């Protein structure tokens, strides 16, 4: 179970997401652990959906449906794209359009409670200055691929909920209240959120 959001940091945004993780394999066979390379995720504003659903469980049930939904149709749906998550220099960059752009550094993760082989991990990430807390939950798809005997890149699709908690400030393009000693980073680990 992930830790609860910090007290005094209100929920600001809920997004449903559809994205792709890219991994590489060196050809080491089925026991090789694929290496994470990049993430490309679109975040869709869930706020218009929430009041129309009878309960929280019905909201969570949308994610497996979104995972099975034709991605090209999703781009043309009435859901408004509110942002993206991408990878620059092995770091996840969250862009919430007209709101903020910030790095997201993983702080904890747990195996998906349902089908952890095929579904990606649930994760809690923070911005370097800790003003943003981002939770990725209810993940469908996105499990680690299996490497084979050839070197290749493998893409895995996924859908998830992203919950954004914010206490003010911190944007890459304005001022960042960063760790002065950069102790929040771990350069040896790929950073996906």
Determine the pLDDT at residue 69.
76
The token pair at 62 is 């949308």
Task: Give residue-wise pLDDT tens across range 120-169.
Answer: 999 999 999 999 999 999 999 999 999 999 999 999 999 999 999 998 77
Q: What residue spans define the domains of the chain?
A: 11-166
Determine the pLDDT at residue 153.
95
Assess contact for 7 and 19: CB atoms under 8 A: no
Which parts of the chain have pLDDT scores under 50?
174-190
Assess contact for 167 and 12: CB atoms under 8 A: no
Determine the pLDDT at residue 184.
39
Residue 98: is it exposed, middle or buried by C-beta count within 10 angstroms (0-12/13-18/19+)?
exposed
**Residue 68 DSSP SS3:** helix
């Amino acid at each position: 179970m992930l830790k609860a959001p910090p007290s005094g940091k209100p929920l600001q945004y809920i997004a449903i997401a559809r994205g792709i993780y890219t991994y590489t394999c060196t050809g080491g066979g089925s026991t090789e652990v694929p290496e994470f390379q990049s993430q490309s995720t679109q975040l869709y504003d869930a706020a218009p959906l929430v009041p129309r659903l009878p309960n929280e469980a019905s909201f969570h049930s949308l994610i497996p449906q979104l995972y099975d939904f034709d991605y090209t149709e999703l781009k043309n749906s009435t859901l408004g794209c509110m942002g993206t998550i991408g990878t620059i220099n092995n770091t996840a960059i969250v862009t919430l359009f007209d709101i903020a752009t910030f790095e997201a550094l993983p702080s904890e993760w747990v195996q998906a409670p349902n089908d952890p082989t095929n579904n990606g991990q649930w994760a809690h990430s923070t911005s370097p200055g800790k003003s943003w807390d981002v939770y990725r939950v209810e993940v469908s798809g996105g499990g680690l691929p299996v490497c084979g005997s050839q070197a290749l890149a493998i893409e895995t699709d996924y859908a998830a909920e992203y919950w954004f908690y914010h206490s003010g400030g911190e944007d890459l393009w304005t001022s960042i209240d960063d760790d002065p000693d950069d102790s929040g980073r771990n350069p040896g680990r790929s950073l996906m959120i």
